[in-house]
Structure 1
Amino acid sequence: MAQYLQVSTATPSRAEAVRLAGSSVKAGLAAGAQVVGPVTSVFWHEGQYGEGEEWQVLLKTTEARYAELESHVLQHHPWKNPEVAAVPLVAGSEGYFEWLNHTTAKH
């Protein structure tokens, strides 16, 4: 895993997305988050094709906090088996990465 990550998930409503983003940031597990939506999702679920409207949550964190963030998202998510996926941030401004480090540091 890379040192800096963007973690994504989706929720069925804007309110749930904002709640999940807020609880993750307030807990210091993510430095910041964006809620994007609504987005149209096309998927397979329990063997059935589906389409629906969701709200995407993008969380910025460090590798050191990822496991705790994943656990938090899974524990507080309204769905039984939600997407929790991380992609590495392979480049970015020095100031941004310093902010990520400082904001997610355990106090």
Structure 2
Amino acid sequence: MDASQVLVVITTLPDEDSAAALTRALLEARVAACVNRLPACESQYWWQGAVETARELPLLIKTTRARYDALEAVIRQHHPYDVPEIVALPVAAGLPAYLDWVREQTAGPDGGA
């Protein structure tokens, strides 16, 4: 496992206030270099045996594999859902300068761990 690999983590929030609060918490904790708050979308999913429909705001969060566990902890702490969507996708390629910037912005005092 390459701890410096850049990840895009996806989560969804039920409203603007919770999306803004989580975005701020992720950035202040330095577990994310960038968070894109996308426009609301309609989500349909199974929950407790029934199909539900909800308006949600997706977040695209850029981090590294080394910071993933800390990022997940911040999401779980600040997310209003019992079982929040947290999906991490590895970045297979990207502009090297951008990927380096993500790594720099999420590096902790001990080098990112």
- Interval containing the TM-score (normalised by the shorter chain): over 0.9
Matched residue, 1:29: 31
Shift of 1:7: 0.4
Q: Does 1:93 find its partner at 2:95?
A: yes
Distance 1:101 1:36 in 2: 23
State the one-letter code of the partner of 2:76: L
Q: Which runs of 4+ in 1 moved over 3 A?
A: none
- For residues 55-101 of structure 1, the C-alpha deviation after alignment (integer angstroms, 9 at most, x for no partner) is 11111000000011011101110111111010011100111011011
Matched residue, 1:6: 8
Aligned residues: 107
Is the contact made by 1:4 and 1:88 (CA closer than 8 Å) also made in structure 2? yes
Is the contact made by 1:10 and 1:57 (CA closer than 8 Å) also made in structure 2? yes
Is the contact made by 1:62 and 1:104 (CA closer than 8 Å) also made in structure 2? yes
State the one-letter code of the partner of 1:47: G
Percent identical among aligned pairs is 36
- Over the residues paired in the alignment, what is the CA RMSD in angstroms? 1.1
